[in-house]
Structure 1
Amino acid sequence: MPMPYRIHLALLAAVLCLPATAGPLEQTECIAPAKPGGGFDLSCKLVQRGLLDARLITSPMHLRYLPGGIGAVAYSSMIAQSPPQSNAIVAFSGGSLLNLAQGKFGRHTEHDVRWLAAIATDYGAVVVAHDSPYQTLADVMRAMKAEPAKVVLGAGGTIGSQDWMKAALLARAAGANPKRMRFVAFEGGGEAMRALEGGHIHVFTGDAAETRQQIQAGARLRILAVMSDQRLPGPLSQVPTAREAGAAISWPIVRGFYLGPGVSDSDHAIWTEAFAKMLATPGFQQLRAERGLFPMALVGRDLDRYVHQQVAHYRELVREFGLQPAR
């Protein structure tokens, strides 16, 4: 056999032995930027099931947990990747966007990743104990205006968190100075709701879906208002919006995903199309409802516009409430 021919066969064999590069929808991975459990984990498991059921991926999506800095570690990791990992998506929430607005992701901004899709939302809620003297949101607002220090609010997160922001917006809508409100920070919404039932706080500024699930589990709580532009569907359809009660507050809690900045336009388009198809299926809509989440479907450029508008809005709130952006 001539030498050039043998060399050609050897090179061909070497090429055939190389591992094939996985496409964006092959060997997929969802990164939850927190420990197992919680909203990011819920988001990843929801799309893991939704994409598989819609036959948009052929094998279950791998879940990976990358906690640290309330999402900052995962954000930095995806930005630093070279070459880009086009088959990995990362979960984000409205809280992630609020952290970006406050500079909590270091030097990185909302311009540094490729936003992919928003798949669901929850909304802020004003909640009291079942036997609370406050029967309406207007009752709470009157009490806060008269003596803001006597109305003890509480929720998960510290000053500047989503739940603190909801309380501050409520205080401002009531005509009270947010700096004078009494806010007790808890590790999470579950702990705050137990404190509410026990009478240790008077008002919980949490999430509608989270609260409804606790009520279904036996918690003796009442939702006075939801922070949505319109009344929510299903079991919460009888709960008024904050706007109906005189507080022009809207606080959506988006759940979605982004890709690393180095992902190509073609791979981004493949992901965008897959999410658009999944979001349109009745099966996914049922999965979302079963998890207590509400409809939201934004992909590609629509989500990109939404993210930039929300971060700009949050930056304005940070300035209004005198919060010092992280350096």
Structure 2
Amino acid sequence: MPTPTQAFAAHAADKPLEHWHFERRDPRPDDVSIEILYCGVCHSDLHFAKNDWGFTEFPIVPGHEIVGRVTAVGPDVSGFAVGDLVGVGCMVDSCRDCDACNDGLEQYCLNGFTMTYGSPDRHDGTMTQGGYSNFVVVSERFVVAMPDGIDLKSAAPILCAGITTYSPLKHYGVGRGHRIGVIGMGGLGHMGVKLAQALGAEVTVFTRSPSKVDEAKSNGADHVVVSTDDDQMAAVAHTFDFMLDTVPVQHEIDPYLNCLKYDGTHILVGLMDPIEPPITGMNLVFKRRVVGGSLIGGMPETQEVLDFCAEHGITCDVEMIDIQSINEAFERMKSGDVRYRFVIDMQSFDKAAA
């Protein structure tokens, strides 16, 4: 039967999120039912709630960094049992039959993956609703296990910020002997630093703000370059194998390309808009440099990054909030006032219901 669910939802782009009750769909044979314990707050949540991308259907319950406990499993489920601690990230379905899905790269599903919120369900057409809620139902294929010893609160953002940076590091083969620049020191950037370090690379953070130098080093950066300082940029020209670009707004890429060696790779993980100002072709052609992109990660890789973080003691730096504070958190996030991810404690729904 459908399950009554508490949530915080946006009902219009110009309205704050409000306490909302709705019914989760009937579980299917391959479904895992999950009591949500924690949910991270991502910039994408804010964009969806404000309809910044122009395709939000209201009401919308954001949240795609979900950690919870299994409360029931369908008869076709073999990998999870009641009581297991699990996670759900940015996807809850895909076509499961194309080349990308068969390769465990569901994020590149040739027929489009189903987002955790804001997507029509492939079976009944209802809109998916996310993790700013106390309960969720997800197909077993899109659920991952929380490894022993991982901190559940800080594990939530690994399901987005962690996998978004880990997947390109693995795909492009970043490891020992490589020098990598991480551009930006936010939710994505600080995870990129920690993961690249654990993979054995020498890591330099590029930041526009001198005030972030100590912050970057405290997160494990070997070096920090203030990108607004021409002398510092000139000193690192032609020295890097990779750039991991986590900046989510339009910015000039040519200065960072100039920091790459020949055959260097600049990886975009934050920017969704057109590259503006345009890249100068000479900066690619004359050094055989590559500009690439990467989107989250497939389900096998998402499990892999959780296991990797548990093994290496890697955590996301988080600030815990109650669900009632979500609108304030959105405002603080817009102004960059978070180090580096808000995570909602879903026990606070008890206060919201009071």
What is the TM-score when the length of structure 1 is the normalising length?
Answer: 0.28
Judging by fraction of residues, say which structure has more helix.
1
User: Which has the greater radius of gyration?
Assistant: 1
- Identify which of structures 1 and 2 has the higher relative contact order when contacts are C-alpha pairs closer than 8 Å and 6+ apart: 1
